[in-house]
A and B are shown apart, each in its own frame.
Chain A
């Protein structure tokens, strides 16, 4: 196996993992604290990309567009919370799934009506639109390195927020035992609102960072949502550490599987069979890993210590 290719693929896996973490963090917090399944979290990712693409177009500056898109994404999260989510906190999971599934349809079509079905043009900012030469002559896009850096900074900030502030203490307490928190006089509805807004902003941030790599189009959040669920189930529901570990694991397994699985299978199978099986198996690999993790540790790798 080519060590340079392996290193580049590990970077790719890291970059995918960082993006997934940003989406999964909000999802796992909302689930951990409010016991709420929010399928509409994926649309926040899409909205982040749409807001950033539109605002970058208007302002002519990626940084300005991104800076404006973040509060817009948080506002969209708050609006969603007020209009839909808060009416379902006390309902059972099936109701929550149905309601937020409906929100996906609604927002996807709404985006299509507003922005049209054609994908938006959203380019990498010219200042970092170049490739960096890495070890051994391999090149790597600077923008992807920027995503890794920005994602890690945000992840560190999130850990500081959750570990080192009063808000974070309440969030952790809410994840462990929401009823006790409420009986201690904490306004848990307000906490919920803040967590939803924070989650929406993180997902929006992932969307705006990924936007220039991707086709910004209606429904772009749907696939990410599924991956984010795999991440939080693998990592352990409700825990930020679990989400980070799960995201990196999913990112690396998926990327390395897509790059090397077919070649590895060729060592044990006939080439034609390996060509058939490899790509199919590579696309299922993260689900296989999730299943194995769940068999060994049914609550995920690092679950939140939840009082039942």
Chain B
């Protein structure tokens, strides 16, 4: 469809309420800006196919707020939900509104890299701090890194790099690569190749949003690689994995992927996805107390399995909670809040929390595989550590010191 007309973006304060069960009193602050309250603009994608990830991230974040007693860092917390509609221009307007009208102290969320790039400059040049709970495009980790930007996820290439490293260590000497023909697709294959030592059988680029992969699957059958690496986010991945299994290839040519088979797509992929491998810094079965509390609380409250964006949203809430607590009365001062965020310590669901110089986390990446839990639910469970203390590959280009 040619450019859909942009709807007037609604700053949707209502969304959070019913679903989150955060105490209404903490959210329903009166309109004139109250002093001593922490104001957070949470920007995510709530319309279109990307809404699956957007709602996961929101639910994870709000669960974190709830686990912090509805008051992050012990202060009144007001959260304004905002829908970027996966449209950079809409996101830009929404961010202006959040900064100028709502005067938020923190902007958090952001699922997609193109949205993050659109709001990055106005956000980091404002009086607010920007915290990405998902998107991690290379410029903000490298040359354009900013003291006012933090990540609770990863730099995009890391997951691809971890799968590449796994492909090498698993002995796949000849891998065929598959991605949609757009910037993130090309970056994904670059990221994979950076840590993969074997031969590349072929690189196949498909149309972004393609639904039928029969032609590509026939090419894979003909090329007979040792394994396939695919980056097919969202619905594309569901299509690909189902069709790959129907062609009878799943057992013959292992399908490795990144952001393709995950806890958000597995329910739709079904058993066709069982056994497929990917890499992640988080899995629902990581054995630490924070993660247990998160996963159990999440499934209890929302009735579905959290995926990686939910875990990162939860960590964002925990990071803010810890930092505001540490900053004390100074949380409204950008410099003090930044220092507190840099040195915050909290129990991350990924098992460790350590920030690199460029404000991206350093942590282990695990091999994760689609498996069936004892109760019959499909979920990504973790295996060996593929990359220990993986710092992203662009941190060296960022000159920030602290």
Of A168-176, A215-223, A296-304, the segment with at least 4 beta carbons within 8 Å of chain B is: A215-223
Residues of A within 8 A of B272 (CB): 123
Residues of A within 8 A of B216 (CB): 258-259
> Quick check: B1 and A220 within 8 Å, CB to CB?
no
Nearest neighbor of B221 in chain A, beta-carbon distance: A138
- Interface check B212, CB cutoff 8 A: yes
- Interface check A177, CB cutoff 8 A: no
**What 1/0 flags go to A208-230 for Cβ under 8 Å of B?**
00101111111110111110000
Contact A217 to B49, CB < 8 A, known contacts A12-B215, A141-B247, A212-B242: yes
> Quick check: B51 and A144 within 8 Å, CB to CB?
no
> Quick check: A15 and B214 within 8 Å, CB to CB?
yes
Residues of B within 8 A of A212 (CB): 242
Residues of A within 8 A of B49 (CB): 117, 217-219
> Quick check: B218 and A5 within 8 Å, CB to CB?
yes
> Quick check: A9 and B215 within 8 Å, CB to CB?
yes
B248: contacting residue among A16, A141, A219, CB under 8 A: A141
- Interface check B296, CB cutoff 8 A: no
B219: contacting residue among A5, A131, A216, CB under 8 A: A5
> Quick check: A258 and B206 within 8 Å, CB to CB?
yes
Contact A144 to B211, CB < 8 A, known contacts A119-B268, A121-B270, A279-B206: no
- Interface check A124, CB cutoff 8 A: yes
> Quick check: B238 and A213 within 8 Å, CB to CB?
no
A166-196 contacts to B, CB under 8 A, are none
Residues of A within 8 A of B267 (CB): 118-119, 121
Residues of A within 8 A of B235 (CB): 119, 214-215, 217, 220
CA A162 to CA B387, docked complex, whole Å: 63
On chain B, the number of residues with a Cβ less than 8 Å from chain A's Cβ atoms is 43
* Closest chain B CB from A221 CB (angstroms): 10
> Quick check: B215 and A258 within 8 Å, CB to CB?
yes
* Closest chain B CB from A266 CB (angstroms): 11
> Quick check: A216 and B51 within 8 Å, CB to CB?
no
A213: contacting residue among B204, B212, B234, CB under 8 A: B212
* Closest chain B CB from A123 CB (angstroms): 5
> Quick check: A279 and B205 within 8 Å, CB to CB?
yes
A–B Cβ pairs within 8 angstroms, 10 of them = A12-B214, A123-B271, A213-B246, A219-B49, A226-B1, A256-B215, A279-B207, A280-B181, A282-B207, A283-B207
> Quick check: A118 and B212 within 8 Å, CB to CB?
no
> Quick check: A131 and B1 within 8 Å, CB to CB?
no
CA A120 to CA B271, docked complex, whole Å: 13
Residues of B within 8 A of A16 (CB): 212, 214
CA A113 to CA B49, docked complex, whole Å: 12
* Closest chain B CB from A206 CB (angstroms): 12
- Interface check A255, CB cutoff 8 A: yes
Residues of A within 8 A of B207 (CB): 279, 282-283
- Interface check B278, CB cutoff 8 A: no
